[in-house]
Amino acid sequence: MTDVAGVAFRRVGLPGLSLHVAEAGPEAGPPTILLHGFPEFWYGWRHQIGPLSEAGLRLVLPDQRGYGLSDKPDGVPAYHLDKLAGDVIALADAYGFATIRLVGHDWGGLVAWWTASHYPDRIARLAILNAPHPGVVGAYIRSHPGQWLRSAYVGLFQLPILPERLLTADRCRALRHALTGTSRPGAFAPSDLDRYVEAWLQPGAMTGMLNWYRALARLPRATPPRVRVPTLILWGKQDTALQPGLAEASLDLCEAGRIEWFDQATHWLPHEEPAAVNAALRHFLT
């Protein structure tokens, strides 16, 4: 998986685990960590790597814990948001970054929100693509039944063993169809899906990936910390899993934030509108 131009790879040791990390861009550029979501890995940023590198950003793109070639700790508690956010800060520490620009899509966006809320002094700028702040999800679902219906699959993921079997059967047929069925035609090429299947079938990966959902269900209800860092939310309005109201509820937690809407894009915004997304990110991050 080394044919994305300008990308190098390394393994980075953190307290308690190590992560497989893709790197790109000039070493002296502003440090920028990009966090993929479910069910992707670093390769989910393939359309952003070249343009953001050319804009002068130093990119660090980990396979997050449980994913791809990174370590996959045992047990649901290992995937609590506090630990996932801790990985981001530990990764920045490993590189010697005092502050970072942080970008997240889907689950990577939830981690990015959580990191910015709890470590505001370490985050220079925050960019979120189709991901709500974890602190608003529960209250929003309780007051918006339509979102509850969209989130019903999360209940299935709470079951032991069965979801892993369903999602890995027939070379992960269900997950492949989930990607192509919820995105615009052409967003995921067959060759892209082959790469995803390879990542999903890594030993322990599917359980690690699902444990993120299992841990989220155990998150206690609490008033979320406000987001003090400059924040840009990019949101595809045709998202089949997340209503646009979640973006607005998340913005309400921001002291300095704004939303850019993409009326025709789905949840898979970075794949469907790469030119516009890259332009927005370059303008905001550089």
Mean pLDDT, residues 154-174: 95
What pLDDT is attached to residue 1? 46
C-alpha closest to that of 244 among 226, 262, 220: 262
Per-residue confidence band for 237, with pLDDT thresholds at 50, 70 and 90: very high
pLDDT of residue 221: 75
How far is C-alpha 279 from the geometric centre of its chain's CA atoms?
A: 19
Q: Contact 61/45 with Cβ under 8 angstroms? A: yes
Q: 215 pLDDT exceeds 90? A: yes
- What does the block give as tokens for 29? 């550029």
Average pLDDT, the chain: 96
Give the start-to-end residue ranges of the domains of the chain: 8-285
Residue 218 binned pLDDT confidence (cut-offs 50, 70, 90): confident
Q: What CATH code is assigned to 8-285?
A: 3.40.50.1820
pLDDT (tens digit per residue) in 17-54: 999 999 999 999 999 999 999 999 999 999 999 999 99
Active-site positions?
Answer: 106, 213, 267
Confidence band of 86 (pLDDT split at 50, 70, 90): very high
Q: Which element (helix H / strand E) includes 169?
A: helix 162-181
Model confidence pLDDT, tens digit, residues 54-83 = 999 999 999 999 999 999 999 999 999 999
Give CA–CA dist 139/144, Å, rounded: 9
Average pLDDT score over residue span 221-249: 93
